[in-house]
Structure 1
Amino acid sequence: MKAAQDRQKLYANHRRKPIEFSAGDLVMLKVSPWRGVLRFRKQGKLSPRFIEPLKILELVGKQAYRLELLEELTGIHHIFHVAYLRKCLGKHEEVVPLVEIKADKKLRYIEEPEAILNQRTVNLHNKVVDLVLVKWKHHRGPNWTWENIEEIMAKYLILFEQR
């Protein structure tokens, strides 16, 4: 019995890793156990599992942290156990200024090409398609895509005239 317990303890400890944060780190707060509370906009299946990045103010005890909470969370105590926190991997330095973003009448984001990087022709089964590699402004992730040349020329004729 002791050998089985030791083996299980070894497996459990091998998978566990201590989670430590420092003051100033950004973390996501786990809110899924609070399903009955309609504090986080949705209830049930569509309720958020984590809420937006919060800043750690200080370490309290061995495994608790004091967070800088939002104004809408004033009724909640601001000290949380490490089990309710996840490291936030997003970067706040990549925020696009609102002055540079353009929106249409329905408030949808309008993508703008920055430059044409490359051009190629693709042979499909029964037709030939010309593609261009377009670099986009303010695009998350890879900011270039292969697009159909006719569609890009129809939308952004000025870009082709400059090239």
Structure 2
Amino acid sequence: MPLIKARLKIATSKQNGYADLHRREVVFQERDMVLLKVSPMKGVIQFGKRGKLASRYIRRYEVLQRVRNVSYKLALLLEMERIHPLFHVSIMRKLVSDPNKVVSEPDMEILEDLFYIEQPIWIVDTQVRKLRNKEIPMVKVLWNRHNKEECTWKTRDSMIQ
């Protein structure tokens, strides 16, 4: 038994050592401006992951107060009044502003669960993928708020629905 405990202790210390290298302490002060991370939702029903799973950070929000070690209360807009104002640091990013570069905020409708709806704009390409016994018609779709490199392949049947 002591040998098993010793090896478990060694394994956990190695894992903690790897995890601690990637962990960073994030602390926001009151009046700091932060960005919130939202997730894309393709269509209305289909929860989808897109491309290389790039995170989307939207809008500037002011930190009102630190509630706990990893949660903060934000000053939300009136259109987001139904969302609880406490957020974990994992979905916040500190805004480092450069007054020389001013970018307009995207006008997108954020749902209550911090998702936004992606709609297909146009079909870029079509192809038929052949398996042993059947052929699957595929379409390459360009989504709104994305550039041409972020097009995704979908089955034609899923895009018709």
TM-score by length of 1: 0.46
Which structure is higher in helix share?
Answer: 1
More strand by share: 2
Which structure carries more relative contact order (alpha carbon 8 Å, separation 6+)? 2
Question: TM-score, normalising length from structure 2?
Answer: 0.47
